[in-house]
Amino acid sequence: MGMTLAEKILAAHCNRRQVQPGELVNVRVDLVLANDITAPLAIKEFGRVGVDRVFDPKRVVLVADHFAPAKDIPSAGQIKMMRDFARAQSTLFFDGGEGIEHVLLPEQGLVVPGDVAIGADSHTCTYGALGAFATGMGSTDIACAMATGDIWMKVPPSIKLVYRGQLRPWVGGKDLILHTIGRIGVDGALYAAMEFTGQAVAALSLEGRFTMANMAIEAGAKAGLFAVDRTALTYVKGRAQRPYTVYSSSADARYQAVEEFDASAIEPQVALPHIPSNSVPVSQARGMPIDQVVIGSCTNGRLEDLVTAGRLMAGRKVHEKVRCIVIPGSRQVYLEALRQGLVQAFVESGAAVSTPTCGPCLGGYMGVLAEGERCLSTTNRNFVGRMGSPKSEVCLAGPAVAAASAVLGRIASPEELEA
């Protein structure tokens, strides 16, 4: 019996010819990641492991992005601890303003096809867009991985998701994944590897694939993976910091389940409060009043997302009753947005443009909601209190819906601006 993409990567990283779902395996890792919330905990635990040096400083990456640039004294202390540890250990360190970790690492070529990458952040699964097995873990596991270069895990079963047909205008990766989570639920892929395939997926840009892989965790998945094709190889070329191996699923691989979707029937989506699976077509959410729009995050803060939003907002004004915050996912994205005139278009529309940060996504800063307020956001979670007051609400959507809604002052379809 052949193996799935996830199984082949894990087998190669534990020197086995074959692995099966449910087996406990010890896996060699290619990259270990932590951020300014989780790294301080991992650093403290690392000090208790009994080793002086990380296993490989070129494979340990620390990124200050959640409360960075530092919003207060405690966050400054967290970041300083990371900075001091990185300097002492000679690990890779990206300070506040460099970028959001899950945008930054692929952009810098630090994650490549065939990797096993782990991070003390649940959205580490983003890197599956490059055909890597990437997953989030706790800070204690990260501390041990920094020391040894190994982790143990249970081999997950794989679920195959097939998207047939062509996408409608304004429909992208965010809409596909929200629709998927709406069908299977937030536990529909619990501890499984989601393998995204099909004609519609093959036509997606890498940015759209990053978005889908990023939100695999919102379906309970251990990882979300895409096959490596020409689109992925074009992205990796010139970025990769080291050699890589491309794996693909066997024709006779065994899947826990296979889900099929008619992508041509999927409208732009909106996830209503207070769970990502509460996803409906925008036509069913149209007209809902909003107070704030956020365009950015590790889910939708890439250049393509800003181009989509800018296309709709250029020459228009943010509605007088709405605040709009645009956050490029990295410094490189910010610079390219400047070159293309996107930042000017956003500012002239009345939006606030921030240096790269996770900020409002987790209710950290740069867009915290007050009681009774509702935000439409391109981020990945809309749980109670996620972006501020527990009596506020968050709806999720892609950049096209977010931009149209910012202009019209209510949840809106981008087609309304084209009419």
Task: Please list, in sequence order, all residues whose beta carbon lies within 8 angstroms of the beta carbon of residue 114, skipping any fewer than 6 positions away.
Answer: 9, 12, 131, 132, 244, 245, 246, 247
- Evaluate whether 115 touches 127 at the Cβ level (below 8 Å): yes
- Structurally, the chain folds into a number of domains equal to 2
- Tell me the average pLDDT across 260-269: 97
Phi/psi region, residue 31 (left: phi>0; alpha: psi -120 to 50; beta: rest), is beta
Judgement on whether residues 275 and 177 belong to the same structural domain of the protein: no
Judgement on whether residues 242 and 363 belong to the same structural domain of the protein: no
- The pTM of this model reads 0.95
* Residue corresponding to tokens 């293309």: 340
**What's the pLDDT tens digit per position in 189-217?**
999 999 999 999 999 999 999 999 999 99
Judgement on whether residues 251 and 284 belong to the same structural domain of the protein: no
- Tell me the average pLDDT across 275-301: 97
- Tell me the average pLDDT across 141-161: 96
Judgement on whether residues 255 and 309 belong to the same structural domain of the protein: no
Query: Which pLDDT belongs to residue 67?
Result: 95
- Tell me the average pLDDT across 128-143: 96
Find the domain containing 293 and state its range. Answer: 269-418
- Evaluate whether 326 touches 351 at the Cβ level (below 8 Å): yes
Residue 1 has pLDDT above 90, yes or no: no
Query: Which pLDDT belongs to residue 225?
Result: 98
Domain boundary among 261, 290, 318: 261
Query: Which pLDDT belongs to residue 49?
Result: 87
Q: How many CA atoms lie within 13 A of 100 on its CB side?
A: 30
Judgement on whether residues 80 and 35 belong to the same structural domain of the protein: yes
Residue 50 has pLDDT above 90, yes or no: no
pLDDT tier, 404 (very low <50, low <70, confident <90, very high otherwise): very high
Domain boundary among 233, 261, 289: 261
Judgement on whether residues 49 and 133 belong to the same structural domain of the protein: yes
Question: What tokens were used for 312?
Answer: 């709709």
Query: What spatial distance separates the first Cα and last Cα of the chain, rounded to whole Å?
Result: 53
**Amino acid identity for residue 250 in this structure:** S
- Evaluate whether 151 touches 118 at the Cβ level (below 8 Å): yes
H helix count then E strand count, the chain:
16, 18
Query: Which pLDDT belongs to residue 419?
Result: 60
| Residue 377: strand pairing partners | 294, 396
Dihedral sign, CA of 72, 394, 179, 21? positive
Judgement on whether residues 309 and 401 belong to the same structural domain of the protein: yes
Query: Which pLDDT belongs to residue 418?
Result: 76
Task: Please list, in sequence order, all residues whose beta carbon lies within 8 angstroms of the beta carbon of residue 356, skipping any fewer than 6 positions away.
Answer: 65, 97, 98, 99, 100, 103, 301, 327, 328, 329, 330, 331, 333, 334
User: CA-CA distance, 366 to 345, in Å (whole number)?
Assistant: 20
**Amino acid identity for residue 38 in this structure:** T
- Tell me the average pLDDT across 107-117: 97
Domain boundary among 227, 261, 295: 261
Judgement on whether residues 288 and 247 belong to the same structural domain of the protein: no
User: CA-CA distance, 396 to 276, in Å (whole number)?
Assistant: 7
Judgement on whether residues 13 and 87 belong to the same structural domain of the protein: yes
Residue 318 has pLDDT above 80, yes or no: yes
Judgement on whether residues 180 and 47 belong to the same structural domain of the protein: yes
Query: Which pLDDT belongs to residue 43?
Result: 96
Judgement on whether residues 242 and 282 belong to the same structural domain of the protein: no
CATH code of residue 295: 3.30.499.10
Judgement on whether residues 274 and 214 belong to the same structural domain of the protein: no
